[in-house]
Amino acid sequence: MTSGASRSYIVRTYGCQMNEHDSERIAGLLEADGMVRAETEADADVVVLNTCCIRENADNKLYGNLGHLRPWKDAKEGRQIVVSGCLAQKDRELVAKKAKHVDVVMGTHNVHRAAELLHEAAAGDGPLTEILDEAVIDDHAMFPSALPARRETSYNAWVTIQIGCDNNCAFCIVPAVRGVEISRPYVDILAEAERLAADGVTEVTLLGQNVNSYGRDIQLAARQAGDTEAKLRPLFGDLLRDVGAIEGIRRVRYTSPHPKDMRPETFTAMADTAAVCEHLHYPLQSGSDRVLASMHRGYTAERYLDKLAEARRVVDDLAVSTDIIVGFPGETDDDFEHTLEVAAAAEYDYAYMFIFSPRPGTEAAEMHADFVDPAVAGDRFQRLRIVVERSALLKHQARVGRVEEVLIEGPSKKNRDVISGRTRQNKLVHFTPPHPMRTGSYASVEVTRAAPHHLEGRFVELLAEPTHKLRIPVNAL
C-alpha cells in the first residue's frame, strides 16, 4: 500500500480539547495522504480511536470498543485499527498485547507519523507500536497546529501555543502522557493565526495545559545559550494582544490558565484587546488550603479569590467558569465546607464538577487509605451543584434584556427551527431566526429568558456573514 488513495477513515475522539485538536491533525494527515472521511465505521477502511485516560474506566472502555471492532475488521480485507492518544501513551505495548487485531499504537508525540505508520503496518507483518517519551523540541511538527488539519468547523479553530505540563497535580495524568512543557515559537503561532484569518476563521482559541507559563522555557533556553540580553520572555498577554490585532479575528479565547501562574498582565491584555472575549476559565479544584496543598496546586483559596477579584476589577463584564473535584482523598466535611464557601464567593457562571475517581498512574490513585466514601462524595457533589447553579442562574438572569453578540453554531439539537450560538461570555443562546442563517455568522440577539445552563433570545439583526471558504484540509505550514 503506497498511498491512502480511495481508502476512507473515521476518527473517534475521547477526552479534552487537546485530543480533539490531535484528531483534527490525524484526519488532516490522512486526507493529505489521499484518504477520504467516512461517515460511519461500516464505510471506513481505517478506524482511529484517539483515547484519553482522564475519565474513569477509560481502559475498560477502550478494550470494550476494540472488542466490538473485531468483527468489523474481519469483515473486509485491508481494514486497519489505530489506537492513539493518552491511553496509548500510558499503556504502550499492552494495547497490542490485549487486542491483537490493532494495527498501530501511537503515542501523543507520534501523531505526525499517522499516515506513515499505517503504511508501515500494512507492509509489515504485525502490529506496530511507536511511542516517543518526549516531543522532539526542535521539530516544529510536534505542535498540533503545525500539521495539516481537518477542522470540524470552518469559522473557529484551536491554535496550540504549548504542549506538555511542568506541574504535578496529584490527580492528573497529563504530565506523564504529554511530557514537559514546551512553548511553540511565537512567530509560528502568529503566522498560523494569520493564515486562519485569511481562511475566514473569525474565532481562535489558544490552547495549552498552562497557558500563563507560555514562554518560560523559551527564555530559559535563550539564557542557557548565553543570551544575557534575552528580553523578558514573550508573555501570554503579548500573545493575546498580537493575535487579537490580526485583521479578521473577531474573537480570541484561551484555555486553560493555572491560577498560580495567572499574571496581572494577562488581565490587562484581556481588557485592552477588544477581540479577547470576556470569559475566564479559572480552575479552582478545591476551596480547602489543606486539600489544595495535597493536590500540589501551588495556591491558597485566598490567593485564588484575590486574583479573581483583580480579574473582575480589570476586565469589564467578565464571566468566570471553573473545574472542581469533590471528594479528593482525605477531604473532610470541614474541607468541603471551604469549597462551598469559595464557590459561593466566586459566583461562577458555570462549573465542571467531578467526583474524585482514581486515575491509574497518578499520585492520588495511591492514596487508598484516604479515599472518601462514595455516598459522602455524592452528597457533597449535590450540595456543590446547588451552589453553582444558584450563581449561574443569577448570572444568566442578569443578562435578560441585554443585546448580545452571538456567533451562530447551527440549528439546535432539540429543535431544527431554533438556532444556537455563543455569546462572548461563552453562554449558549437559542433563538428563532426570521430567515435561514449560515453557521459562522454573527448576530445580535436580545436575551429574553434565562435558565441555569442556557439563555433564550430574540433576533435583532445580522452583524456579519461568514467569509470562510470550503472546508479543508488546511495545510498549516
Return residues touching ligand SF4 (CB under 6 A): 165, 167, 169, 172, 174-175, 209-210, 258
| Short-list 348, 258, 245, CA closest to 303 | 258
Smallest distance, Å, CB 214 to ligand SF4? 13
Q: What residues are paired with 206 via a beta bridge?
A: 159, 254
In the complex with ligand SF4, the residue whose CB is nearer, 165 or 196, is: 165
Residue 144 and residue 163 in contact, taking contact as beta carbons nearer than 8 Å: yes
In the complex with ligand SF4, the residue whose CB is nearer, 9 or 299, is: 299
In the complex with ligand SF4, the residue whose CB is nearer, 50 or 255, is: 255
Smallest distance, Å, CB 169 to ligand SF4? 3
In the complex with ligand SF4, the residue whose CB is nearer, 281 or 468, is: 281
Residue with cell 490493532: 102
Smallest distance, Å, CB 133 to ligand SF4? 17
Smallest distance, Å, CB 212 to ligand SF4? 10
In the complex with ligand SF4, the residue whose CB is nearer, 202 or 209, is: 209
In the complex with ligand SF4, the residue whose CB is nearer, 237 or 283, is: 283
Q: Does a cis peptide bond (omega within 30 degrees of 0) precede residue 473?
A: yes
What is the identity of the amino acid at 247? E
In the complex with ligand SF4, the residue whose CB is nearer, 19 or 154, is: 19
What is the identity of the amino acid at 254? Y
Smallest distance, Å, CB 58 to ligand SF4? 15
Residue 25 and residue 142 in contact, taking contact as beta carbons nearer than 8 Å: no
In the complex with ligand SF4, the residue whose CB is nearer, 323 or 389, is: 323
Q: Residues 17, 23, 27, 30: is their CA dihedral positive or negative? A: positive
State residue 24 phi and psi, 5-degree precision. -60, -40
In the complex with ligand SF4, the residue whose CB is nearer, 41 or 366, is: 366
HEC sequence for the chain:
CCCCCCCEEEEEECCCHHHHHHHHHHHHHHHHCCCEECCCHHHCCEEEEEECCCCCCHHHHHHHHHHHHHHHHHCCCCCEEEEEEHHHHHHCHHHHHHCCCCCEEECCCCHHHHHHHHHHHHHCCCCEEECCCCCCCCCHHHCHHHCCECCCCCCEEEEECEECCCCCCCCCCHHHHHCCCEECCHHHHHHHHHHHHHCCCCEEEEECCCHHHCCHHHHHHHHHCCCCCCCCCCCHHHHHHHHHCCCCCCEEEEECCCHHHCCHHHHHHHHHCCCECCEEECCCECCCHHHHHHHCCCCCHHHHHHHHHHHHHHCCCCEEEEEEEECCCCCCHHHHHHHHHHHHHHCCCEEEEEECCCCCCCCHHHCHHHCCCHHHHHHHHHHHHHHHHHHHHHHHHCCCCCEEEEEEEEECCCCCCCEEEEECCCCEEEEECCCCCCCCCEEEEEEEEECCCCEEEEEEEEEECCCCCCCCCECCC
Residue 422 and residue 428 in contact, taking contact as beta carbons nearer than 8 Å: yes
In the complex with ligand SF4, the residue whose CB is nearer, 244 or 259, is: 259
Smallest distance, Å, CB 236 to ligand SF4? 14
In the complex with ligand SF4, the residue whose CB is nearer, 106 or 172, is: 172
Per-residue cell: 437: 442563517
Smallest distance, Å, CB 461 to ligand SF4? 41
Smallest distance, Å, CB 12 to ligand SF4? 23
In the complex with ligand SF4, the residue whose CB is nearer, 21 or 250, is: 21
Smallest distance, Å, CB 163 to ligand SF4? 11
